[in-house]
Structure 1
Amino acid sequence: MQTTPHNEARRGDYAETVLLAGDPQRSEWIAATFLDGVRCVNRVRGALGYTGRFRGVPISVQTTGIGAPSMAIYAHELLDTYRARTLIRVGTCGGLADHVKLRSLVISQSSSNDGAVNGQLFGFYNYAPSADFGLLQRAAQRAIELGLDHHIGQTASSDVFYHPDVLGRFAGVRAHGALAVDMETSLLYTVAARFRAKALSICTVVDSLVTEEQTETSERQELFTDMVRLALEVAVPAEPATPRR
């Protein structure tokens, strides 16, 4: 019997820290490339889930699919049913600012959205979904130490992928400094806050809405190496070297 309608994993199959990838092929690649002792814990709907170890620490990877509703379902079930405590998105985004170049990383400090969730959950309040500060701080420090091309700041999440006004619809958030847009980060931060859990979104810029440049689909797995490496460094910091006496 499945534990949830969307997941066949048993309680205890997921680690407390879970990396979230939209694409099942990316989840499979992350597990095979970065984790030791990997086992597949979910195949329902093709939303592959894996658990293994990184630096000896249990880490899971879960596919979330595309869009806010799908992200909300998997994040909710991981936190509620499987008792995960830290969720880190490793996804893709589109650049909204001139200086945000293809293949760079965007670490989301907060994320606006164009969906209806705020009205349904918060009434007349405009809730501000934000990253966990500890995870954000650690990501910022490690990105600098690793020499990664990255940006940290506010982002936007949209429920519409194909829109006739590709860039103009983001005029408001762009004027207020939004770096990039994806479809999931805002809901991830909202669901995590509901469960008093930690969440962070790290995305690779695969296209620019400003210049209309795009990366090739064939190169994207290779592009994700820095992003996943940073996410794992945040999830499982290396032990500091013991000073010699």
Structure 2
Amino acid sequence: MTPHNRAAKGEIAPVVLAPGDPIRAKLVAEHFLTDARLVTDVRNILGYTGTFQGKPVSVLATGMGGASIGIYSYELFTEYDVQAIIRIGTCGGLQPQIAVGDLVLAMTASTDSAWAHQYNLYGTLSPCADSNLLFKAVEISRKRGITTHAGMVFSSDLFSSYNALGPDSWKAWARMGALAQDMETYALYSTSAWTGRKALSILTMTDSCVSGEGFGSEMRMLGLYPMIELALAVAVEV
């Protein structure tokens, strides 16, 4: 056990799906996993373990922001011997070709965070996804006809709608090719690199900074099903 996770050793599977929202973790457990059981609920961050197509899979919420997913991913990798974390999150779209509901596969992540200062690097870290997980996600999405876009994402400490930089601050990152903005991918990829484990961030574009379009309330869960299904299909291949 850790201060943030009451699961005992062996109660978390080698592959973990990581949504930010605890309710999304509950949804995955109840609607997609077989024989899912609650293994942790510290701070109401829900974690479950079950099976998918006969393979053990866990799903654990990580909360919002890089600091939060950094704690949970580090503990999963180092204390629970998790081999791979697949983030299933939401993002704001920064490019016009990405439609609401499309999936973004984060090849690499940029950030405005100081997260990487802890590694004492004399340069700028650009952490990336595990290539095997990424290639498998691309292959499966093509076979299933799921619209995906692979490239850089921008992980920010600032929620795009609430920062003092102004409503157009995202445009500079869009010009540099960022496909979408989230808050967690950079910390996850950095932690996976530091611990020598695997990670992939699969994001559903729920709100477009370009067009202003977004999911209605009824789609905030249902619209995430293609992402969840893709992540589980990748998980059983790990």
Normalised by the length of structure 2, the TM-score is 0.96
Contact 1:166/1:209 (8 A) holds in 2:
no
Selected match of 1:75 from 48, 73, 76: 73
Q: Which secondary structure state, in structure 1, belongs to the residue aligned with residue 10 of structure 2? A: coil
Amino acid at match of 1:101: A
**2:219 is matched with which residue?**
219
**1:10 is matched with which residue?**
8
Per mean C-alpha deviation after superposition, the further-off stretch among 206-215 and 227-236 is 206-215
**2:51 is matched with which residue?**
53
- Where do residues 19-168 of structure 1 align in structure 2 (5 Å cutoff)? 19-161=17-159, 162-168=162-168
**1:243 is matched with which residue?**
none
Runs of 5+ unmatched residues, structure 1? 239-245
Q: Which secondary structure state, in structure 2, belongs to the residue aligned with residue 99 of structure 1? A: coil
Amino acid at match of 1:86: A
From the CA coordinates, give the structure whose radius of gyration is larger: 1
Amino acid at match of 1:210: V
Identity of aligned residues (%): 41
Amino acid at match of 2:218: S
Per mean C-alpha deviation after superposition, the further-off stretch among 40-49 and 117-126 is 117-126
Cα distance, 1:83 vs. partner?
Answer: 0.6
Aligned CA RMSD, in angstroms, stands at: 1.3
Q: Distance in 1 between matches of 2:192 and 2:83?
A: 9
Cα distance, 1:146 vs. partner?
Answer: 0.4
| Residues matched between the structures, number | 236
Q: Deviations over 1:47-80 (max 9, x none)?
A: 0000000111000000100000000000001011
**1:229 is matched with which residue?**
229
Cα distance, 1:131 vs. partner?
Answer: 0.1
Task: Note closer, same or farther for the CA distance 1:200–1:167 as it changes in structure 2 (3 Å cut).
Answer: farther
**1:188 is matched with which residue?**
188
Q: Distance in 2 between matches of 1:133 and 1:192?
A: 13
Cα distance, 1:184 vs. partner?
Answer: 0.2
Q: Distance in 2 between matches of 1:164 and 1:190?
A: 27
Q: Which secondary structure state, in structure 2, belongs to the residue aligned with residue 217 of structure 1? A: coil
Q: Which secondary structure state, in structure 2, belongs to the residue aligned with residue 168 of structure 1? A: coil
Q: Deviations over 1:140-177 (max 9, x none)?
A: 01111000111111111000111144553233321221
**1:201 is matched with which residue?**
201
Q: Which secondary structure state, in structure 2, belongs to the residue aligned with residue 9 of structure 1? A: coil
Contact 2:49/2:58 (8 A) holds in 1:
yes
Q: Distance in 1 between matches of 2:95 and 2:140?
A: 23
Cα distance, 1:218 vs. partner?
Answer: 2.6
Amino acid at match of 1:30: V
Q: Distance in 1 between matches of 2:117 and 2:174?
A: 22
Amino acid at match of 2:213: E
